[in-house]
Chain A
Amino acid sequence: MSDYKMHLLICSGTGCKASESEDIINSFTSLIDEFGLEDEVQIVRTGCFGFCEKGPIVKVLPDNTFYVRVSPGDTEEILKEHIVKGRTVQRLLYTDPVTNENISDSKGIGFYKKQIRIALRNCGFINPENIEEYIARDGYMALGKCLAEFTPEETIQEIKESGLRGRGGGGFPTGLKWEITRKSEADQKYVVCNADEGDPGAFMDRSILEGDPHSVLEAMAICGYCIGADKGLVYIRAEYPLAIERLKTAIKQAREYGLLGNDIMGAKFNFDIELRYGAGAFVCGEETALIHSMEGLRGEPTFKPPFPSVSGYMGKPTNVNNVETFANIPVILNKGANWFNKIGTEKSKGTKVFALAGKINNVGLIEVPMGTTLREVIYDIGGGIKNGKEFKSVQTGGPSGGCLTKDFLDTPIDYDNLIAAGSMMGSGGMIVMDEDDCMVSIARFYLEFTLEESCGKCTPCRVGNKRLHEILDKITKGKGEVEDIERLRVLSSVIKDASLCGLGQSSPNPVLSTIANFENEYLAHVNDGKCPAGQCKALLKYEIAEDLCTGCTLCFRNCPVGAITGERRQPHFIDQSICIKCGVCFEKCKFDAITLT
């Protein structure tokens, strides 16, 4: 085992490296040599601590002291005071912004309290293919307690008091939904788990099903007990083979242990679960379309009411909840509604899982309490923007959501605030964009998605989205006109008003929110024929500056289409009619003679 008495953990994530953490490491290394402490102190480079704002970070183990904003000049003091004499260097500790006290242990720092894992409690902790590990973590205990000690009404009451709202995007109160389905009278009812996760860049549900499938099965059984159903169905897209595999294994194990099947835990309660595969159509995430798809019909939405809780699968009352919603249920029942409703904001309780993607350092899956700000998520947890670029926008809510600017960075995230800001919670995709992203192209990308995913039932959605896409495409090709912006606005509002389901009602959101927040960019495209982000190829122009060109012929030799002409040692020229804007000449030029406008 180790002889080292002390570990110095020094962050070498991108953020801290940019603020000289490498020099700190070198300085510590030579100081430790100088003091002859090589055998006692070990220096370890770590990945990003996530607390980049206070970087560079140096953490001393075993006493867990957390130094922030350390500079190479501080190393000697840390070594002499802390390592040799055992005295903490107070001035380098994190100061709590509220109490003004110095905090030495990182566990006491607010940032590290920002993530709390409820739905993801077992992801990355247990082996998802071993039911015993789930049981060891109090798995199926909530189901057991409900069956033995609580009536369905009491259980529903507990869920209602917890304040849990649907995590699929709509945010409908879960307890209320269960109650309505319970009150619908029928000889047969169904519990459906909506695992048709379709937002581009979102993978929350997949990770839960892959990492902790039993939590969803247990919650579905609890739901069955509450609403009076003996059959559960998981509607999952066939594109998630690993999640399907793990679910199948979990269902098999639960049956073997008698946790699914007849007379569960001697409570005369029968419940079993089957899988239904979707073909990956986005519209099937809408509950009526999902139900039709399960029935073997076309995946098209129908008018509500009747709601599925009254007439759903096979015309029977059906309770549809999202994966993440279900994953919260066992914890709420084990820990109590009062524990759960203390987390979050007034109207949005608990936590939300987000899939962080795009131009962000720590791409990954995070779970934060409702009410956390976008700034905390993007900078503190996400580690900031890649390559030190400028933050431009964050897209939440997938193709139905909107793009928020830096003005919204301090908005606490919850259902109502995001809607007020012109976006929505959605299922939890969060795509971060930097200064190099063209917002018109982004809007076009989302339209391309909804265009392909529209089921075609309603004309405004089927034809309207196509027209929206055409106008956006025209603008990115430099052929737009000012009137197009107004056309986009009017058409968007028609599509929103006249479509039947959520897909059409929300598909123009990316267009409307980018126009609202980035109208300048639209104007630059249509008025000046310029793309400020330099993304729209048709609007780019590569030129060679005569005075800088040395006539080395490098660009001439690399141009794939022969658009560059010129004699050796003489300035070269680009023929704009041939140029395909591939940028090869720009990258190859050693004299910065090629400019991009």
Chain B
Amino acid sequence: MTKIKSLADLKKIRDEVQSKIKLRENSDHPEQTVQIKVGMATCGIASGAKETMNYFVEELEQQAIDAVVTQTGCMGYCYAEPTVEITLPGKGPVVFGYVNKSKAEEIIEVYIKRGKLVDGIIPVNFKTIDE
């Protein structure tokens, strides 16, 4: 890859890569992919986040659902690990707690495929620095 040699370079790369997480920042973005973020800090992994993540990746691929599954750090809801944040196209992010395999299956079937919320949502309750 190209090295960043100046502030202008950095700004250019930022603008390029910004579109990649744009979907996460702006839920009105029309792009047709589902964004899934699995909390993979120590607390998440200890509660089986790795299995949950693998399940999402495999299952979505098998069902040919266009989705981006990424890992992220601790969302702070350690009591409800594994936690998964899902952003459907055109919708705000929703955080689900205690996502084991069967919960993941339910989320894929009910929320991702049919857009109906399932029980176990964790209401996000903090302000970000962008607000």
Interface residue B108 (Cβ < 8 Å from any Cβ of A): no
What residues make up the interface of B, taking CB atoms closer than 8 Å to A? 1, 3-7, 9-11, 13-14, 17-18, 20-21, 24, 37, 39-43, 45, 70-80, 85, 97, 114-123, 125-129
- 15 A-B pairs within 8 Å (CB atoms) are namely A1-B115, A44-B119, A46-B120, A46-B122, A48-B123, A112-B126, A114-B126, A115-B126, A124-B73, A124-B74, A135-B14, A258-B3, A365-B78, A367-B126, A381-B125
A44-B78 in contact given A50-B125, A258-B4 (Cβ < 8 Å): no
CB 8 Å contact bits of A42-65 with B (1 = contact, 0 = none) = 101111111100000001000000
Contact B73 A265 (CB under 8 A): no
> Which stretch, A72-80, A138-146, A290-298, A563-571, touches the partner chain B?
A138-146
Q: How many A-B residue pairs have CB under 8 A?
A: 184
Contact of B73 with A137 in the complex, beta carbons under 8 Å: no
| A381 to B124 alpha-carbon distance, docked (Å) | 11
Contact (Cβ within 8 A) A256 B1: yes
Contact (A132, B71) CB under 8 Å given A210-B42, A365-B78: no
Per the bound structure, the CA–CA distance linking A126 and B21 in Å amounts to 8
A389 at the interface (CB under 8 A from B): no
Complex CA–CA separation, A140 to B8 (angstroms): 12
Determine the distance from Cα of A363 to Cα of B83 in the docked complex, in whole angstroms.
Answer: 13
Given contacts A42-B116, A122-B73, A144-B7, contact A115 B41 (CB under 8 A): no
A140 to B129, CA, bound (A): 16
Residue of B nearest to A4 (CB): B116
Which B residues touch A132, using CB under 8 A?
13, 17, 20
CA A200 to CA B30, docked complex, whole Å: 46
Known: A44-B117, A266-B6. A136 touches B129 (CB 8 A): no
- Docked complex: A112-162 residues within 8 A CB-CB of B: 112-118, 120-130, 132-133, 135-141, 144-145, 147-148
In the complex, A112→B125 CA distance in Å? Answer: 6
Inter-chain contact A128/B73, CB cutoff 8 Å: yes
Q: Which residues of A contact B115 (CB under 8 A)?
A: 1-2
Q: Does A220 sit within 8 A of B, measured CB to CB?
A: no
- Are the CB atoms of B42 and A124 closer together than 8 Å? no
8 closest A-B pairs by beta carbon, nearest first, are A211-B73, A115-B126, A124-B75, A258-B3, A2-B115, A45-B119, A365-B76, A144-B7
Instruction: Give the CA-CA distance A429 to B111 in the complex, in Å.
Output: 36
Interface status of A252 (Cβ within 8 A of chain B)? no
Given A47-B80, A144-B7, A242 and B42 contact (CB-CB distance below 8 Å): yes
A115 touching B17, Cβ below 8 Å: no
CB within 8 A of A128: which of B1, B24, B72? B72
B4 x A265 contact (CB < 8 A): yes
- A9 interface hit (Cβ, 8 Å): yes
CB pair B21 A147 closer than 8 Å: no
Size range of the chain A interface in the assembly: 35 or more
Give the residue of B72, B78, B127 whose beta carbon is less than 8 angstroms from that of A112: B127
A9 to B118, CA, bound (A): 10
Contact B18 A121 (CB under 8 A): no
Contacts of A111 in B (CB 8 A): 125
A252 CB to nearest chain B CB (Å): 12
Chain A contacts with B in 331-385, Cβ cutoff 8 A:
331, 335, 361-367, 381
Residues in B whose Cβ lies below 8 Å from that of A59: 123
Known: A112-B127, A242-B42. A123 touches B73 (CB 8 A): yes
Say yes or no: B117 contacts A42, CB within 8 Å. yes
Whether the Cβ atoms of A210 and B74 lie closer than 8 Å is yes
Verify B120–A117 contact, CB threshold 8 A: no
A2 to B94, CA, bound (A): 15
Task: Assess the B74–A123 pair: CB atoms within 8 A.
Answer: yes
* CB nearest neighbor in A for B120: A47
Which of chain A's residues have a CB closer than 8 A to the CB of B80?
47
Please, which residues of chain B bring their CB within 8 A of the CB of A365?
74, 76, 78
**Contact in complex: A141, B24 (CB < 8 Å):** no
Given A265-B10, A366-B76, check contact A116 B1 (CB 8 Å): no
Answer whether A203 and B114 are a contact pair too, CB < 8 Å, given A47-B120, A364-B79: no
Q: Which residue of B lies closest to A362 (CB)?
A: B79
B17 and A133 contacting across the interface, CB-CB below 8 Å: yes
User: Which residue of A has the minimal Cβ distance to B127?
Assistant: A116
Instruction: Verify if A7 is at the interface (C-beta below 8 Å from B).
Output: yes
In chain A, residues 192-220, which have Cβ atoms closer than 8 Å to a Cβ of chain B? 203, 206-208, 210-212
Q: Across the two chains, which residue of chain B brings its CB closest to A381?
A: B125
Is B10's CB under 8 angstroms from A141's CB?
yes
Residue A289, interface by CB 8 Å: no
Q: Once the chains bind, are B128 and A207 in contact (CB under 8 Å)?
A: no
Provide the bound-state CA to CA distance between A116 and B128, in Å: 6
A257 within 8 A of B: yes
A113-B127, A265-B6, A331-B129 as given contacts; A136 in contact with B116, CB under 8 Å: no
A47 CB contact (under 8 Å) in B1, B123, B128: B123
Asked if A259 lies at the interface with its beta carbon under 8 angstroms from chain B, I say yes
B14 touching A124, Cβ below 8 Å: no
Bound Cα distance from A384 to B5, whole angstroms: 51
> Does chain B have a CB within 8 A of A311?
no
Given A2-B116, A210-B42, A364-B79, A47 and B97 contact (CB-CB distance below 8 Å): yes
Q: Which of A138, A141, A210 has the most CB of B within 10 A?
A: A210
What CA separation (Å) do A302 and B75 show in the bound complex? Answer: 38
Interface status of A12 (Cβ within 8 A of chain B):
yes
Cβ-defined partner of B14 (8 Å) among A45, A112, A120, A138? A138
Which B residue sits closest to A131, measured CB to CB? B17
Contact B76 A12 (CB under 8 A): no
A47, A210, A361: the one within 8 Å of B41 (CB): A210
Interface centre among B7, B11, B17 (most CB of A within 10 A): B7
- Roughly how many angstroms separate A335 CA and B131 CA in the complex, as a whole number? 12
Q: Are B118 and A148 in contact (CB under 8 A)?
A: no
